[in-house]
Amino acid sequence: MKFFVDTADVDAIAELNDLGFVDGVTTNPSLILKSGRDILEVTREICDMIDGPVSAEVVALEADAMIAEGRKLAKIADNIAVKVPLTWDGLKACKVLSDEGNMVNVTLCFSANQALLAAKAGATFISPFIGRLDDINLDGLDLIEDIRTIYDNYNFKTEILAASIRTVNHVSDCAKIGADVVTAPPNVLQNLAKHVLTDKGLDAFMKDWAKTGQQIL
């Protein structure tokens, strides 16, 4: 499973990328706002940093304007994935942009029917939002499983990019279901390495080592 990091914080991306944990990056208007930087500038810097897909989101709501924005974003770098919302206009934009050879990430997916339409429109990635479904007492992981079944039934090439990841359990559960990608904030990816028994065991080792009075260096 591929890991995308969901942020526009270039320092956080660089740290994870140095460890080999970044297969791509996803951004959105909220993350650009949080970064406090110009969208074109920060997106270009991220694209220069990593080889994988970098999702940059359009902000228009009408298809023709989405297409125009998508074309401009795609010119930033060869690894741009134009991000469009899962609306009827977004699907129109997806079809045009994907037919032109651009990677397209269709976002804000909350149903299997939406995911089916995105695949038919040529989406490179479909982004179902797990956490936001959990917020309204629906199981976001059920959606991932439904999309996996449909895509496998018909050999769709669209990759399932599980988004709105809130916990480390979301990550492992998505891996078991067969999501192609998870995109998560840096802190969630870092927390994958943590376990209370690891900390407890290391503490015991260090206490015993101190009793030996020895040093390695």
Q: What single-letter DSSP state applies at residue 163?
A: B
Tell how far CA 66 is from the center of its chain.
21
Count of CA atoms in the C-beta half-sphere (13 A) of 52: 16
Residue with tokens 């192609």: 180
The encoded tokens of residue 47 equal 């694209």
Residues in the chain: 217
E strand or H helix that includes residue 169: helix 168-177
Active-site option among 2, 72, 75, 83? 83
Q: Which residues contact 119 (CB under 8 A, 6 or more apart)?
A: 126, 151, 154, 156, 157, 158
- In the residue annotation, 200 being an active-site residue is answered as no
Residues with catalytic roles: 83
